Amino acid sequence: MTARPERAPGSALPSGGAMRVMGSETEYGIHAPSAPGANATMMSARVIQAYAQVTRQRAAGGAETRWDYTDEEPLHDARGWTVERTSADPSQLTDQPPVLDAEAIAMAYGRDELDHDGDDESGSLLMNMVLGNGARLYVDHAHPEYSSPEVTNPRDAVAWDAAGDLVVLAAVRRLAADPTLPPINLYKNNTDNKSVSYGSHENYLMPRSVPFGDIVRGLTPFFVSRQIVCGAGRVGLGQDSSRPGYQISQRADFFEAEVGLETTIRRPIINTRDEPHATADKYRRLHVIIGDANLSQTSNYLKFGTTAMVLSLIEAGLAPKVEVHEPVAALQAVSHDTSLTATIRLLDGRRVTALDLQWMYHEAAAKLSQDAGVADAVDGDGHTHAVLERWAATLSQLDNNRDAAASSVEWLAKLSLLEGYRQRDGLNWDNARLGLIDLQWADIRPEKGLYHRLLSRNRMQRIVDGQAIARAVAEPPSDTRAYFRGRCVSSFSKDVVGASWDSVIFDVPGYGRLQRVPTREPLRGTEALTGGLFARHHEAAPFLAELLGLGTTPPPG
């Protein structure tokens, strides 16, 4: 057998398999049943404020700090240019903090509540925060968004993504307990079925040396077909759901381009945002916008695990040599075909199914990971073998045993539930009740959400248990820089005035100026490297002095 690859703390991850730095972003659907005309941005701000109140996250203590926008560069394009701000769509300007004026805040909260519960002395509303688990919670236009901390494997990606559901659930509970405020419901889905879609994004660290054209060629056929494994399912066809039916993906009908920088208009299959949040000449952050928001742990696990393995194939120059004719049309055709029998035309004239494409990628990934020595069940990297096994089992079930697949593949689990209602009550796909059932599937409240009902009855498979998810709400991952960020926020929040993916900013008495600690290497700042530092210091000044190599003495002011 090949020995399991070893690595020193902060060194590169084993290559050729499913391990890499990755993370998720989830924009939650939001609705106030008793106030249907309420401003969604103000409601989203209320969610952020509620979570701050739940955890007592104030500048004087707790586990919260403000987001630092200094290094945000949303208009850099991976193809080699930067879009002018004057020609960019406003939704692309994510390097600007969201703003609600005083009147809007008063309308959302009431002036008396703002006076007592505002975030700071100026009475501004908290809309953007870094959490003690290393995640970011903020208002992204008209939605509350949770961005998970960086992790190194698909299992942890599932845990810290699911932690976001518990974070926003706690906020919803807080709002529901206040009789003076209209309750707010949140949904882990991707469309309001009235022509509006909102994102569930993934991020993967890659070497900058990989040509972007290779990424496009290697990923496009994979993304066209990946939805059969990780689609969340949706009632209705077309962006506005005006045509009756059911489809595999919530997002497919909203994509209009093959490659591009936009995320909310002219959505591309391959997004070109070049914002690495890391050492720029060494890394790129692949920003994936085509995935659905998954409640199913298995679908989420395969979404991260298989994509990580395909990126390994691309880096090695071993991705399957297939090119899809008209990828956008093929993406939507696959989504509309729940029988999985529709064929996709390739540029070489062949016609293949989405299952065929997935098997091609699986075969190539299995060979590469075996050759690299990371796929063995005992002596591999600890993750790749499990991803390959579950990927193959899921594809086989989709081909031969759909009833078994319904306990793991989200779109099929939802379809099975909907078909039960259709048969029992004689409902056609254009019946409005089915749309409501679709929405209820995504409700984050366990007592209301249909997914959670199936999960409680063991009709949906788990990858991680509830205790692991609860820990992920409060604790950062131990093996990335998220550990340093989260521990700084939870241990020294009164002295941390800002943080981002690649920096933590301290304002400590005696230093005379702000101290920015860069965290540009995603595999530095781990527990192995900094855990002892946190254990030795309970105050920010000596912690920072040792970190900066100053002994126990701050620099002269």
pLDDT at residue number 65: 67
Asked if 547 contacts 555 with a C-beta cutoff of 8 angstroms, the reply is: no
Token reading at 18: 């499913």
- Which segments of the chain have a pLDDT < 70? 1-11, 56-65, 69, 71-76, 79-125, 263-265, 551-557
CA torsion 442-446-451-457 (nearest 10°) is: 180
Q: What is the pLDDT of residues 318-363, one digit of tens each?
A: 999 999 999 999 999 999 999 999 999 999 999 999 999 999 999 9
- Exposure of 533 in the CB half-sphere (CA atoms within 13 A): 24
Q: How far apart are CA 59 and CA 39, in angstroms?
A: 27
The structure tokens listed for 538 are 């309970």
Characterise 233 by phi-psi region: left (phi > 0), alpha (psi -120 to 50), beta (else).
left
Which pLDDT score, from 0 to 100, does residue 57 have? Answer: 45
What is the token pair recorded at 49? Answer: 């404020």
Question: Which one from 68, 71, 112, 140 is the annotated catalytic residue?
Answer: 140
Check if 140 is active-site.
yes
Output Rg (C-alpha) for the chain, integer angstroms: 23
Give the per-residue pLDDT at 549.
86
Query: Strand, helix or coil at 162?
Result: helix
pLDDT value at residue 112? 41
Check if the beta carbon of residue 394 is closer than 8 Å to that of residue 298: yes
pLDDT for the residue 191: 94
- CA dist 410 and 232 (Å) reads 5
Alpha carbon distance 128, 99 (integer Å): 10
Q: Do 291 and 230 touch, CB atoms closer than 8 A?
A: yes
Cβ-proximal residues to 308 (8 Å cutoff; 6+ apart), any chain? 17, 18, 19, 20, 22, 154, 204, 387
Q: What is the pLDDT of residue 194?
A: 85
Residue whose C-alpha is closest to residue 223's, from 192, 193, 257, 265: 257
322 DSSP assignment: -
Query: Which residues are CB-contacts of 8 (< 8 A; sequence separation ≥ 6)?
Result: none
The strand pair at 255-260 and 22-27 is best described as unpaired
The predicted structure's pLDDT at residue 401: 95
- The sign one gets for the Cα dihedral 278, 160, 485, 63 is positive
pLDDT tens-digit series, residues 40-90: 999 999 999 999 888 764 433 344 567 776 765 655 677 664 655 555 555
Within 8 A by CB and 6+ apart from 464, the residues are 155, 158, 159, 162, 297
How many Å from the N-terminal Cα to the C-terminal Cα in the chain? 58
Q: Are 189 and 439 in contact (CB under 8 A)?
A: yes
Question: Are residues 9 and 89 in contact, defined by beta-carbon separation less than 8 angstroms?
Answer: no
Per domain, the residue ranges of the chain are: 189-441, 477-547
> Measuring CA to CA, which residue among 250, 238, 242 is closest to residue 188?
250
Spatial strand order in the sheet of 515-518? 496-500, 503-506, 515-518
Quick one: CA dihedral 72, 78, 84, 90, positive or negative?
negative
